[in-house]
Structure formats: C-alpha cells, structure tokens
Amino acid sequence: MEQNSGLLYLLKLMVQKKKQLTIITITATLAGIALAFLLPVYYKSTCIFYPFSPKAYDPRYMFSEAGNIELFGTGDDADRVITIGNSSLITNYIIEKYNLIDRYNIDRNDKYFYIKATEKFKKNYSISEDDRSAITVSIYDQDPDTAAIIANDIVAQIDSYNRKPLIESNIKQLDKFKSDLQHKYATLDSLSQDSESKKQKYTDSEKDMVSIEMIRTYSDLKEAETRLSILEQDFKTLYIIEKAAPIIKKAKPIRWLVVLITVFGTLFVYVIGTVLIEQYQKNIKSEL
C-alpha cells in the first residue's frame, strides 16, 4: 500500500508539473543533441590473434617431438600474452612512440601529465580473450588510420616480448657451452704439456675422458648455435587472424545514447529535486 501511495503521489506530482516537465524534456533533448555533436569522434580498430604453443616455435621441441606438438597455446599462454599487453612496457612504448601526451592535448607543465596520458590511453585501449579463446587488441583514436597502426604495433610488441625470454635463455646456454668448451680445451692442453715436461705418461683413459667431454660439449654448442640461429630469424609467437584495419565508421560517441542519457538524467534529477522540495515545504507547514 505504501508503495502504491508513493507511486500515486509521484504521478500526481508529475501531472501537476507537466508544463515544467515538458520544458525540461525539450531543453534536455536539445542540450543532449548539442553535447553529442560537440564530443570528439573516435574510431575503433581491432586486431585478432591466437598465441602459439611455446613448443611450436621452441627449437628444443620442434624436431624432437614434432608429432606431439600442439600448434596453439593453452589458457596459460593466453593469460601471459594478456599480461604482457597490459604491462607498462607496452603502455610506455606507445605513449612515447606516438607522442600521446601532445596527441591527447595534455599539459606537460602539469606534474601528473604522464599519469593522465596513461589513464587516457587505458580508456582507449583494451586487450581481452573472447568467447572463442582468441585475443583481441582494440584501440580507439580520432584518426582511423592511427588507430589501426597503433593496434598492429601493440601486437608486434607483444610478440617481441613474448619471444624475448626464449632467445635470452638460449643465448645464456650458448655462452655456457662456449665457456665449458674453452675449459676442456685448456684441460686437454694442460694434460699434454704435463706429459711432455714431466716425461709422465697419462693413461689413454684420462685423455679419452677429456676428449669425450669435449666432443659432447662441442655437440651441445653446435646444437645451441643452431637453435639460436633459428630463433634469430623472423619467427612469430602469435597467429594473426585479422590485422587491424582503418574503420571509417565512428565507434563513439553513440549520439542517440548521449541524448537519451542526458534527457533521462536531467528528468531524474528534476523529479528527485521536486519531491525533496515538496516534502521540505510540507514539513515546514506542519511545524507552523
């Protein structure tokens, strides 16, 4: 009953204020239209890709288990790629390369100018996994060509950072094999010199042991060099389904939605204000 009486009271009040409501609705509509056309227009560009399984491009698995390798990665691989995409490495790279501070008209004299540039970039950028387990990178920009260029560049940087640990790991392994080989060369040379200077005959097994270790290390060294040469080629860790392309249809603002929100927002504030004023006036009269 209280809800019905409250609703009836509200309807009665709106009927009493119908003239004001009409004026406010028309004014809010015109204001919403003006606002919708004054807001800057943004275009959206999206790149869609799947991450490869690390075993699909890691030389350590490419030849030994070729028949058992899954081409595309798991959810963990997708999570890693999304984490890279959301990292400050990507954000700072894009802000600096495309001069987003000036592009977003941010005052460099403001001590928080870089934070503001980062926040605005984050509003215009998204990376997520869709319902088909593909990863989408989307960019909003006032220029459709720039939106596409930035989106594709972000994906290229994600690919670069995704393969970087593998390359660094193989470089470290290669350096270790080189160091081991030099050490074993020195050991064999030392054995040979001691044998000549001291007229001491080392057993064949001692020399053979060092030689076998050298052969094994040399084999590992050549394998590491082969892996590194493969990794240094232009291999990809991401399979691009759809590259970002300029889309000339504006993505935001959605003008009709701006008008709708403006009208309903204004009416809501007006109704609430009117009810509060009416209640206040009733309370004053009751006290008198």
Q: Give the contacts of 103 (CB within 8 A, at least 6 positions apart).
A: none
* Closest among 244, 241, 237, 53 to 134, alpha carbons compared: 241
> How do the residues of the chain divide into helix, strand and coil, expressed in percent and rounded to 5?
70, 10, 20
DSSP codes joined into one string, 165-224 = HHHHHHHHHHHHHHHHHHHHHHHHHHHHHHHHHTT----HHHHHHHHHHHHHHHHHHHHH
Quote the crossing angle between the two packed helices 204-231 and 144-197, to the nearest 10°: 170
pTM of the model: 0.68
Whether 256 and 35 have beta carbons less than 8 Å apart is answered as no
Q: In this predicted structure, what is the pLDDT of residue 209? A: 65
Q: In this predicted structure, what is the pLDDT of residue 84? A: 94
Q: In this predicted structure, what is the pLDDT of residue 284? A: 73
140-179 pLDDT, tens per residue? 999 999 999 999 999 999 998 988 877 777 666 666 666 6
Sequence letter at residue 98: Y
Distances (CA, A) of 227 to 10, 55, 57, 162, 170: 76, 13, 10, 17, 7
Sequence letter at residue 247: I
- Torsion 68-70-74-80 (CA) sign: positive
Q: What are the residue ranges spanned by the domains of the chain?
A: 42-254
The CB-side HSE value for 184 (13 A sphere, CA atoms) comes to: 20
Sequence letter at residue 117: A
Number of H helices, E strands in the chain: 11, 5
Please confirm whether the linkage preceding 40 is cis (ω < 30° from 0).
no
Whether 140 and 124 have beta carbons less than 8 Å apart is answered as yes
Q: In this predicted structure, what is the pLDDT of residue 120? A: 94
Q: Give the contacts of 102 (CB within 8 A, at least 6 positions apart).
A: 108
Class of domain 42-254: alpha beta
Whether 115 and 166 have beta carbons less than 8 Å apart is answered as no
CA distance 156 to 164: 12
**Residue stretches of the chain with pLDDT short of 50:** 1-2, 66, 198-199
CA distance 106 to 145: 22
Tokens 């890693």 found at: 80
- Report DSSP state, residue 127: E
Q: In this predicted structure, what is the pLDDT of residue 92? A: 95
